[in-house]
Structure 1
Amino acid sequence: MSDNPFLDPARQADLYGDPSRLAGRSSALMRAKTAGRPVLDVMVQLVKVHHRHAQNLGLVVDIGCGRGTSSQVLSERLRPVRLVGLDAAPALVAQARRRVGRIPDVGVSFLQGDFHQLPVASAACDLAVAAFCLYHSPRPENVIAEIARVLAPEGLAVLITKSRDSYRELDTLVATSGLDARAAHHESLYVSAHSRNLADLVKLSLNVITTEHEEHSFTFDGHDHVAEYLATNPKYDLSPGLYGKPAALAATLHEFLPDRPIATNSTITYVVAGPRGGRP
């Protein structure tokens, strides 16, 4: 069992068994954003720039598709013949199926599965996307090797992650408030695949075409807002009475700290790659 909840198989049902927790955390973070391009816009643009056949894609695989947000964007903006969204969490796959309706001329399906063993034939995939999911593997290089296996000779992979020190100011807030005195000492959630090592991991199996880093800034309005993000953040050891309960967590913050905006940041890294021996 790992101390990192992203790498602990026993924690996955707790983390992703209820899609509303992920939705609430993501919504709070996006409302706090003050700088940085929308990730899905950048992802689509990178495909259009670097894939020779971006307007005529066959199979697209969205690895770690979560609630289906990225799958919907890829389907609507790139119009592939077929898109398969894959996620390890059955509850997220079920929500993706409900959220993503029929898209004309695009066959969209969602599968529950392990990204270490992609349910795709070798050399069958024109585009593979893995956004904010590789750090859920203790050996992300094995996942990237699977992506290399399924890519067609002119296929493209777009892999996206965060910096290892993302949102470190929140560690200080949580520790100072007494919610988790060791908050600043916990291992980064992104330790296995982060901004500084992703390109090197990709190079083990694929030809890196380009790497882009972009600083994203966030400002939470105050305790009520940041509590929406912290309440289900798996990094912190919150008491059972606070985990998953933003109002109770906000009340604790108000009790021990003056209310004020909280600024933090994260570097988002995009690695675009193709099969060895060729460029899309």
Structure 2
Amino acid sequence: MNEPNPFLDPARQHELYGRASRLAGRTSALMRAKTSGHPVPETIVSLVQTHHAQPDHLRVVLDIGCGRGTSSLVIADRLRPRRVVGLDAAPALLEQARARAQELPYLAIDFVRGDFHYLPLPARSCDAAVAAFCLYHSPRPDEVIAQIARVLAPGGVAVLVTKGLDSYREVDQLVAGSGLDRWAECHESLYTAAHSDNLPDLAASSLDVIAVLHEEHTFTFDGHDHLARYLATNPKYHLAPGLYGNPSALAAALHEALPDQPLATSSRITFVVARTWEEAG
């Protein structure tokens, strides 16, 4: 199976991120299914508070791959830096992030479009930088981390977050067993570029790693209708025409293929905390 990884295929970027509703639907289905694991934005805040020397006096916090702004809003509310900069490459996601931030005008947040390989901020300008669930969208995540090292101020910390290679393997098994994609268990992981096992080494290419935290998050989908809302937005599988992006049709196909029952699955979430080598020395 040599098909391009969807997360690394430039031809699929508009399909994946051209509509904010797609990401909102995917996230909503996962969060409804979640049965264990701390909210990731809250863990990010806790790690910054623990590892930054002056967490109550942060100037700029950069949230890379901010998407719809969920983490940016929590960071701004909980850490109260002078400014949060949320950066993403997708205009549709940034538009929704700005709309959500307008409902909280007391928070100092700017959302900007940019390429995380060339962060549009001056050197040493950020007290903290966050890159959650975005590094595996780059074929060169080490270059992104080098950019993070460039923009971190002395004493600043970076919090990098990713998933394990075998995340949601039970979903792969169900999709294969249903016949909707018999090769579902053979497709390359979506997280190959930056995953739980290689992220500490990637971070160490430009930063000093000071903490690594692994958490097991579990999810239980109520049944085929619930699972279909997640599967319909998952680019990993090779589904028949009319199923991808169509939860109703996908749910009907699942009902026809398999008895309806809850599905439990899991994902390993890894947090790497790092700082600049200068600070380490």
Show CA shifts across 1:223-271 (max 9, x none): 0111010001011112231111111100000001011111111100000
Change (3 A) 1:83 1:236: same
1:129 aligns to what? Answer: 130
2:90 aligns to what? Answer: 89
1:4-153 to 2 correspondences below 5 Å: 4-101=5-102, 103=104, 106-153=107-154
How far off is 1:277 after superposition?
Answer: 3.0
1:220-239 to 2 correspondences below 5 Å: 220-239=221-240
2:243 aligns to what? Answer: 242
Residues in 1 aligned to 2:104 and 2:81: alpha-carbon distance in whole angstroms: 10
Matched, 1:251 2:256: no
Q: TM-score, normalised by structure 1?
A: 0.97
Q: Which amino acid aligns with 2:266?
A: N
Q: Which amino acid aligns with 1:161?
A: T
Q: Which amino acid aligns with 1:60?
A: V
Residues in 2 aligned to 1:3 and 1:177: alpha-carbon distance in whole angstroms: 24
Deviates more, 1:12-21 or 1:175-184: 175-184
The 8 Å contact of residues 81 and 105 in structure 1, kept in 2 or not, is answered as no
Q: Secondary structure of the equivalent of 2:55?
A: coil
Q: Which amino acid aligns with 2:72?
A: S
Q: Which amino acid aligns with 2:23?
A: L
Q: Secondary structure of the equivalent of 2:95?
A: helix
Residues in 2 aligned to 1:150 and 1:277: alpha-carbon distance in whole angstroms: 13
Residues in 2 aligned to 1:255 and 1:42: alpha-carbon distance in whole angstroms: 40
Q: Secondary structure of the equivalent of 1:130?
A: strand
Change (3 A) 1:100 1:240: farther
Unaligned runs of 5+ in 1: none
Q: Secondary structure of the equivalent of 2:27?
A: helix
Q: Secondary structure of the equivalent of 1:215?
A: strand
Q: Secondary structure of the equivalent of 1:217?
A: strand
Residues in 1 aligned to 2:182 and 2:142: alpha-carbon distance in whole angstroms: 33
1:192 aligns to what? Answer: 193
Residues in 1 aligned to 2:250 and 2:42: alpha-carbon distance in whole angstroms: 33
Q: Which amino acid aligns with 2:130?
A: V
1:272 aligns to what? Answer: 273
Q: Which amino acid aligns with 1:93?
A: L
Unaligned runs of 5+ in 2: none
Q: CA RMSD in A?
A: 1.5
Deviates more, 1:166-175 or 1:270-279: 270-279
Show CA shifts across 1:80-133 (max 9, x none): 111111001111011111111265664311111100000000011111000000
The 8 Å contact of residues 32 and 218 in structure 1, kept in 2 or not, is answered as yes
Residues in 1 aligned to 2:97 and 2:20: alpha-carbon distance in whole angstroms: 10
Residues in 1 aligned to 2:103 and 2:130: alpha-carbon distance in whole angstroms: 21
Q: Which amino acid aligns with 1:109?
A: D
Deviates more, 1:174-183 or 1:113-122: 174-183
The 8 Å contact of residues 75 and 103 in structure 1, kept in 2 or not, is answered as no
Change (3 A) 1:4 1:18: same
Change (3 A) 1:213 1:105: same
Residues in 2 aligned to 1:123 and 1:109: alpha-carbon distance in whole angstroms: 18
Q: Secondary structure of the equivalent of 1:214?
A: strand
Q: Which amino acid aligns with 1:240?
A: P
Instruction: Give the length in aligned residue pairs.
Output: 280
Change (3 A) 1:249 1:105: closer
1:158 aligns to what? Answer: 159
Q: Which amino acid aligns with 1:5?
A: P
Q: TM-score, normalised by structure 2?
A: 0.97
Q: Secondary structure of the equivalent of 2:73?
A: helix
Q: Secondary structure of the equivalent of 2:102?
A: coil
